[in-house]
Amino acid sequence: MKVLVPVKRVLDYNVKPRVKADGTGVDLANVKMSMNPFDEIAVEEAIRLKDKGVTEIVVVSIGEQKSQETLRTALAMGADRAILIVSEEKVEPLGVAKLLKAIVDEEKPDLVILGKQAIDDDNNQTGQMLAGLLGVGQATFASKVDLTATNVTVTREVDGGSETEELSLPAVITVDLRLNEPRYASLPNIMKAKSKPMANKTPADYGVDVTPRLTTLKVVEPPKRSGGVKVADVDELVAKLKAMGVAK
């Protein structure tokens, strides 16, 4: 059984993003980049499924040339081979979903596992779009995955609790935070990953038009909160709460 895991190179989650003064975007020059945290969870889950019949894990990333570092990380974690689709222009989720569909048509994986959202654009779209384009079942926000030869049962995190769905394969899953704890790549595995195969492609190789549909007119900082005050003790806090009408 083959699994495809798309991964994205994003601003590291610990870095506080800085908005560029000219309002064109967030400053990504000379800042730490890493694999989108949800994608790490997706890669980890694919690896864990290896004792459930998964024989090959293909990772794919779409973005600038440096995204190969992200793919090497995934290979070092345990993925078998990688596909890099180089596009120096930003590709929107719809374009990504179309490229992924082209790869799925070629590779015929039984399962595609994605992160539920990328922490840069916070869109939460790609997996659902891919499932729609493929006409297959989708299970988003997965917190538990049970795989058999013909179907997959997924517990999903929803507002207010959880839901369980069963999909027949092939299917698309997007993963939530609590699905697993991703492993760290060991040094020997990082070395080994350097010799694993990585195909270099472009959107044109797949005949996919990735022209953006959305134009970003400007990017600004959110309104700043005015500085607050510290109270000395509980009595003062209670008095303030009462003054605000929160407590009687």
Torsion of CA 120, 121, 124, 126, to 10 degrees: -100
Report in angstroms how near the CB of residue 54 gets to other proteins at its nearest.
21
Six token digits for residue 117 = 């959202």
Long-range contacts of 21-28 (CB under 8 A, 24+ apart): 23/218, 23/219, 23/220, 24/216, 24/218, 24/219, 25/216, 25/219, 26/120, 26/219
Residues 193, 120: Cα–Cα separation, whole Å: 26
Residues 73, 3: Cα–Cα separation, whole Å: 17
Q: Where are the beta strands (DSSP E) in 64-185?
A: 81-86, 111-115, 137-147, 151-158, 161-168, 171-175
Report in angstroms how near the CB of residue 106 gets to other proteins at its nearest.
19
Give 88 or 209: the residue with its C-beta nearer to other proteins: 209
Residues 85, 210: Cα–Cα separation, whole Å: 12
Which of 10, 3, 1 minimizes the C-alpha distance to 113? Answer: 3
Report in angstroms how near the CB of residue 141 gets to other proteins at its nearest.
6
Report in angstroms how near the CB of residue 44 gets to other proteins at its nearest.
15
Report in angstroms how near the CB of residue 36 gets to other proteins at its nearest.
12
Report in angstroms how near the CB of residue 85 gets to other proteins at its nearest.
18
